[in-house]
Amino acid sequence: MGSEEGTAAPYLESRAIPTLAQMSTAFRAHTLRHTLRRMRWFLYATLLGSLCACSKKEGARDGGSNPNASSGKAPQCVNDAHKRQSGAKLSACTLAADWSIGKLKCRKDRLLELHPDGALKRCSLVGPTDVSGFGCQENTELYEDGKFKGCKLTASKTVNGIDVRADDWITVYKSGTLKRVQLNNPAKLKGLPCKGFFNYFHENGQLKKCELADVAKIDEQEVPAGTLVCLDDKGKRVSDCKLLNWDLLD
């Protein structure tokens, strides 16, 4: 017992009991650290909330990245041979009722086609509609991102220096330059008398293909009406249209 008491005393003496002032200082330091930590998280949450709110306002102002994306209201479809699914999503159908998507209204009893994300691909409009600055009627087609692709025009318009007229069908590249013209009546395109459906342009604006409506002189040679003439992107005639690059759907 004596030896135990002899060893315990120095141990107890070595553990100094903190004063009240020291305890108060330590408590204040702990409280300050806790408060600063809470303030830091509060400021972070406030900043994050502000960024989210700004993002939502910007999206509402711009109408989203694609103004003709699906609004969430599903189209009413006729259960016929035109109804198609891509996985679980609708890709095409005959409309059983008029359907609005973005600023466009699609006509019932006509074919509706959708991109994989549900955005509008093609439909027949209920009435004349302005689509990205083009006066459109009947079938109108859009790219995946909502950019205008093509339609039947309601009024004459100059596109990249080419005069197109009401009731002509046009298609443009994603860049907005003219790609194809389906002429309702013969017209001169880049100096050549063209007609019909097979009139295409390179993206740089040069005529790519033309179905001649009349005899034309090309490279000092007379080419008879009805000939399908193809030219490269510098305006030179090529011997075979297959030598040019074509989209799969051209």
Q: What are phi and psi of 116, to 5 degrees?
A: -55, -30
Q: How far apart are CA 194 and CA 178, in angstroms?
A: 15
Query: Which pLDDT does position 218 carry in this prediction?
Result: 92
**Residue 3 pLDDT > 90, yes or no?**
no
The DSSP-derived string for 83-104 is: -EEETTEEEEEEESS-EEETTE
Q: Which of 201, 211, 210 is nearest to 233 (CA)?
A: 201
Query: Which pLDDT does position 21 carry in this prediction?
Result: 62
Helices (H), the chain: 2-14, 20-62
CA dihedral 123, 124, 128, 130 (to 10 degrees): 10
Contact, 186 vs 164, CB < 8 A?
no
Query: Which pLDDT does position 14 carry in this prediction?
Result: 46
pLDDT digits (tens, 9 = 90+) for 214-238: 999 998 899 999 999 999 999 999 9
Q: Hey, what amino acid is at 245?
A: N
The structural domains of the chain, with segments of one domain joined by +, span: 25-62, 77-243
158 or 67: which leads in pLDDT: 158
pLDDT digits (tens, 9 = 90+) for 80-136: 888 999 888 999 999 999 999 988 999 999 999 999 999 999 999 999 999 999 999
pTM over 0.85: no
142 or 16: which leads in pLDDT: 142
Mean pLDDT of the chain: 83
**Residue 202 pLDDT > 90, yes or no?**
yes
Per the DSSP assignment, residues forming a β-bridge with 180 are: 171, 200
Query: Which pLDDT does position 67 carry in this prediction?
Result: 63
Mean pLDDT of 142-159: 95
pLDDT digits (tens, 9 = 90+) for 10-68: 444 445 565 656 656 665 666 666 666 677 666 656 665 655 554 444 443 344 456 66
Query: Which pLDDT does position 12 carry in this prediction?
Result: 43
Query: Which pLDDT does position 248 carry in this prediction?
Result: 58
Q: Indicate the pLDDT class of residue 245, thresholds 50, 70 and 90.
A: confident
Q: Characterize 212-244 residue by residue with b for buried, 16 or more Cβ atoms within 10 angstroms of its Cβ, and e for exposed.
A: bbeebebeeeebeeeeebbbeeeeeeeeeeeeb
Query: Which pLDDT does position 247 carry in this prediction?
Result: 79
